[in-house]
Structure 1
Amino acid sequence: MESGQDATTEIGRRLRDLRRERGLKQSDLAGEGMSVSYLSLLESGKRPVTPTILRRLAGELGCTVEYLRTGQQSDQERERQRELLLRLTLAELALRGGEYPAALEGCEAVLAEQPPAESATRRRARTARADALERLGRPAEALGELRELYRDATIGPGSAEWLRLAVALCRCHLLAGEPASAVEIGEAALAQLDAVIAEPIEDHLGLGVALIEAHHRSGGLAAARELADRLLPLADRNASLTARAAAFRQAGRRAQQLGDTALALTLNERALALPAEDELGRYRGLLKAGYGSLLLDGPEPEPTRAKSYLALAEQELARCGRRSDRAGCELSLARAELMLGEYADGAAHAERALDLAGAEPTGVGVWAWLQLGEARRLQGRAAEATEALRTVERLLGSAEHGLASGRDLAEAWRALGDLWFGQGQSDSAMRAYRQGLAAAGLSGAAPLRAMLRPAAF
């Protein structure tokens, strides 16, 4: 049996731990007859907690008085926590299934629950919420959540959660048009991962793919090529498939209908874990696609070799990639075909990229229309080429282009200027160049030659 002092110490420890889990400072809980110094004494076990203060703190921290006193949850509270975790796994499954608004709504509902869900559940919900925001084209909002999660000292470099957050941070900086920040985050994370795991393994793939693209986007072609050469052997390993996922989901639904929350949670967790295995296949495809794109952008482009890697990537991504992944691969294939003089094939790949991009403003559509315009010009179909470039003008002049402001937008305008210039339409070219300079925050500078290179992320 605990002594009075032992019980006071344990209550203080639970108060401190819960406050930190909730992200609160002592000053956030102080007030109404309880100063910061008094709360500090309570947390250190140097003062007993009165029943009135205990009830107030339990309400503030979103737990029961029983838990603060004993560290034990009631059966009712344990069942409530299981229900919250089940709701979260269903939101995560919606995320995996491409139902991003529903996933975001589910995560936010779990995070708004009072009393709050357990700390581990809340972390998962916040991570999934950031993922949903990214997929919905709101990377700036996702970054705020991801930075805070990544700074948490309780997750160690090399862990699955740490790796997922590092990759997401790098990717969202790219989507927000901040390749230099993506490089900084990615390089630091890769160094930490290398310190834990000296030889590259599958864990390096996701981070490596994001960092290669970050170097590529920021102009560091040599660094991107060096990292791609290091990781490319991993792309030849075979990934296992996840055919049982649907069966687990169906079994989980049946268990939920029968009121067995614990079993439903277990089965849905299994379903959630299985698709993660296919992420390795996706990263393999992205690595090959990124390598092919690097071969096109080097000082001595190698379109034939690039095309072979991109064809392999296309097969891999058709099996387990996202539509945006496949669209980026199609754009690179279009570039390779145009370099090889296969203009009809280049146009076909650009059209497939447009189909995959859909109606969402991701920026892929802009680059696909640019590629298609160039392909049509090279085919001698001037009217269709002009129509494609006018479409690009309309997209870039609206708020629905899906490109980050600054460098990405400037590069697209500059590429458009190059293509207008290639068609002999100097007035249109100069307008596009001026728009590009304005997007970059410059004026009076000479236009630079743009590469028709889309963002892969």
Structure 2
Amino acid sequence: MSDRDDPVTIGRRVQQLRGERGLTQRQLAEPAYTPAYISTLEAGRVRPSEEALRHIAERLGVEYEELVTGRPARLATDLRLGLTGAQRTLAAGEAERAAEQYAALLAEAELHELADVEAAALLGLGECAIDTGELGAARTYFERSEQTLADAPLPARVPALRGRAVSHYLAGELRYAVYLLESALDELNRGGLHDPDALLLLYASIIGPYMDMGAHARAAQAAEFALALAPQSADPALVARMHRSVARTLLAEGRIAEADASLAKAAELYRSLQLRTELANCHWMRGYVCAQNGELERAEDELRLALKMLAEGRAALYGSQAAVELADVLHRRGKSGEAAELLRDTLSDLSPERGALHSAAAHRLLGIIAEDARDTETAEEHYVRALSLLERAGAAGDLADLCRLLGDLLRRTGRVEAALDAYRTGLGHRTAPGTTTLGPAPAQPPL
């Protein structure tokens, strides 16, 4: 076993257990081994074979795993069962209770040095912190999860890396989020590590940052790649619950290896439930493309589907971007009242520290709707709020566009000097709306 303890530690453990049971070295050794072999083993001068350790474990009345690792035989499986329980709690939208479950599992995993469980618990804590808007804490948890898996292949580290990128993105650090996601995609595709789940997670996660940076073509391509990679599952939550129930039955019967395999399937399905949030972003992106092509009815359908999926996946923060896009489509279709109501609901779930770019987009569109209704005072108020949020986030292309809108409004209301100031501010950002200074696109997957 790869996690077996060193010969000296195993030797001391054998000696302690033998002493507790009142056995001599001869009694422990017979009939397959000699007392001299047991003496050498207890002194840590030989690396015992699996066959020898299984013989000794049987004579001592302990499980093989407990003898070679010092952990109770069912500990790792019980902890994995706890992980699927915490995943289910989080998937049900109970982030705070899930965080308590993950914290308890993390403490137990650290105590017994179970690195894979430790990394999974840290990842879960990061996801909980994202849900509750604690972006700094989320980033720390994801970083710790990555560090715990430092020696693992990249696909195993992708969920933590993606979590770190999302926490930077939601904090308004767009360029760094894109850098993290593109670097991982490039390494996976160039290195031949074509893990579908890892690629799907990365492609779906990069859509939002691309859009906010004005890289619309890359966002559309990422969405199509993600949808092509999407796994098919009729009802992953139901299947996951089934596997978890089966695991409990197998554990009760002492069939630990089979229970572990069932739990692994359950955990994979719970991860796919989280992927539904990412797939919803792909439908949002498809809706955006339809809107750009003037297919407003189809765009509305795609965006409503995205919002429904995001609501089911308790992803309110992610849903804000799709909501703003849907509001724009509704406005263009003559449903301005519905659009304004949707935007106000969206703003009630956001704050300058949590979703600044989405808040700015909502205020910008509310300003346009107010202008159309000839309410210039309200329009100006929304534009100014959006401007403040965008300056804080450093979204240059959007700033230039907003300064133009504000300048046009001020000019139409006779405030020429103020309008000129707004235009100068927009020109000072240099980047034109819809452009980006990103480098070469990452390598593509072999679809």
State if a TM-score over 0.5 links the two structures.
yes
TM tier, shorter chain?
0.5 to 0.7
* 2:364 aligned partner, one-letter code: L
TM-fit CA distance, 1:124: 0.9
Aligned to 1:128: 124
Aligned to 1:22: none
Q: Distance in 2 between matches of 1:49 and 1:253?
A: 37
Is residue 208–residue 227 contact of structure 1 (8 Å, CA) maintained in 2?
A: yes
Aligned to 2:443: none
TM-fit CA distance, 1:71: 1.7
Aligned to 2:285: 290
TM-fit CA distance, 1:238: 5.4
Is residue 89–residue 97 contact of structure 2 (8 Å, CA) maintained in 1?
A: yes
Q: Distance in 2 between matches of 1:162 and 1:244?
A: 27
Q: Secondary structure at the match of 1:71?
A: helix
Which of residues 153, 156, 171 in structure 2 aligns to 1:156? 153
2:102 aligned with 1:107:
yes
- After superposition, the CA RMSD in angstroms is 5.1
| Cα gap change, 1:69 to 1:132, in 2 (>3 Å) | closer
2:394 aligned with 1:407:
yes
TM-fit CA distance, 1:378: 1.2
TM-fit CA distance, 1:254: 9.3
Q: Distance in 1 between matches of 2:183 and 2:433?
A: 30
2:368 aligned with 1:368:
no
Aligned to 1:24: none
| Cα gap change, 1:266 to 1:376, in 2 (>3 Å) | farther
2:316 aligned with 1:349:
no
| Cα gap change, 1:78 to 1:432, in 2 (>3 Å) | farther
| Cα gap change, 1:213 to 1:105, in 2 (>3 Å) | same
Aligned to 1:274: 269
Q: Distance in 2 between matches of 1:326 and 1:277?
A: 18
Residue correspondence of structure 1 range 139-150 to structure 2 within 5 A: 139-150=135-146
Which one has the largest radius of gyration? 2
TM-fit CA distance, 1:246: 8.1
Unmatched segments (≥5 aa) in structure 2: 13-42, 46-62, 435-447
Greater relative contact order structure (CA < 8 Å, 6+ sep): 2
Aligned to 1:45: none
Q: Distance in 2 between matches of 1:112 and 1:136?
A: 21
Q: Distance in 2 between matches of 1:428 and 1:90?
A: 62
| Cα gap change, 1:148 to 1:245, in 2 (>3 Å) | same
Q: Distance in 2 between matches of 1:175 and 1:129?
A: 17
Aligned to 1:377: 371
Is residue 82–residue 265 contact of structure 1 (8 Å, CA) maintained in 2?
A: yes
Q: Secondary structure at the match of 1:130?
A: helix
| Cα gap change, 1:49 to 1:14, in 2 (>3 Å) | closer
Is residue 415–residue 450 contact of structure 1 (8 Å, CA) maintained in 2?
A: yes
Q: Distance in 2 between matches of 1:133 and 1:243?
A: 22
Which of residues 64, 73, 91 in structure 2 aligns to 1:96? 91
Q: Distance in 2 between matches of 1:411 and 1:84?
A: 48
| Cα gap change, 1:365 to 1:71, in 2 (>3 Å) | same
| Cα gap change, 1:82 to 1:377, in 2 (>3 Å) | same
TM-fit CA distance, 1:109: 2.8
Is residue 64–residue 73 contact of structure 2 (8 Å, CA) maintained in 1?
A: no
Is residue 96–residue 128 contact of structure 2 (8 Å, CA) maintained in 1?
A: yes
Q: Distance in 2 between matches of 1:274 and 1:404?
A: 41
TM-score after normalising by structure 2: 0.63
Aligned to 1:324: 317
* 2:125 aligned partner, one-letter code: R
Q: Distance in 2 between matches of 1:115 and 1:203?
A: 29
Aligned to 1:242: 236
2:177 aligned with 1:182:
yes
Is residue 83–residue 261 contact of structure 1 (8 Å, CA) maintained in 2?
A: no
Q: Distance in 2 between matches of 1:385 and 1:183?
A: 32
Identity fraction in percent = 18
2:323 aligned with 1:312:
no
TM-fit CA distance, 1:169: 3.0
TM-fit CA distance, 1:324: 3.1
TM-fit CA distance, 1:274: 3.0
* 2:339 aligned partner, one-letter code: H
Which of residues 4, 7, 10 in structure 2 aligns to 1:10? 7
More displaced 10-residue stretch of structure 1: 142-151 or 206-215 = 142-151
TM-fit CA distance, 1:86: 4.0
TM-fit CA distance, 1:122: 0.9
| Cα gap change, 1:247 to 1:106, in 2 (>3 Å) | closer
| Cα gap change, 1:155 to 1:448, in 2 (>3 Å) | closer
TM-score after normalising by structure 1: 0.62
Cα shift readout 1:196-235 (whole Å, capped 9, x = no counterpart) = 6588956533211223433333344444455455x27618
Cα shift readout 1:78-125 (whole Å, capped 9, x = no counterpart) = 455555444443332222222222222322233334734522211111
Q: Distance in 1 between matches of 2:263 and 2:5?
A: 40
Q: Distance in 1 between matches of 2:5 and 2:208?
A: 54
Unmatched segments (≥5 aa) in structure 1: 1-6, 16-47, 51-65, 297-301, 438-442, 452-457
TM-fit CA distance, 1:12: 6.9
Q: Distance in 2 between matches of 1:429 and 1:310?
A: 37
Is residue 414–residue 432 contact of structure 1 (8 Å, CA) maintained in 2?
A: no
Q: Secondary structure at the match of 1:171?
A: helix
Is residue 176–residue 404 contact of structure 1 (8 Å, CA) maintained in 2?
A: no
* 1:335 aligned partner, one-letter code: D
| Cα gap change, 1:429 to 1:110, in 2 (>3 Å) | farther
Cα shift readout 1:45-92 (whole Å, capped 9, x = no counterpart) = xxx789xxxxxxxxxxxxxxx999952436xx3455555444443332
Q: Secondary structure at the match of 1:423?
A: helix
Q: Distance in 1 between matches of 2:182 and 2:91?
A: 28
Aligned to 1:19: none
Cα shift readout 1:134-179 (whole Å, capped 9, x = no counterpart) = 222233333334345335343213x3x3332332233223123222
Q: Distance in 1 between matches of 2:293 and 2:267?
A: 39
Is residue 370–residue 389 contact of structure 1 (8 Å, CA) maintained in 2?
A: yes
* 2:7 aligned partner, one-letter code: E
Cα shift readout 1:339-388 (whole Å, capped 9, x = no counterpart) = xx43x425523532443564353323443233223213213344654665
* 1:189 aligned partner, one-letter code: A
Is residue 281–residue 316 contact of structure 1 (8 Å, CA) maintained in 2?
A: no
* 2:180 aligned partner, one-letter code: I
Q: Secondary structure at the match of 1:149?
A: helix
Q: Distance in 2 between matches of 1:267 and 1:429?
A: 66
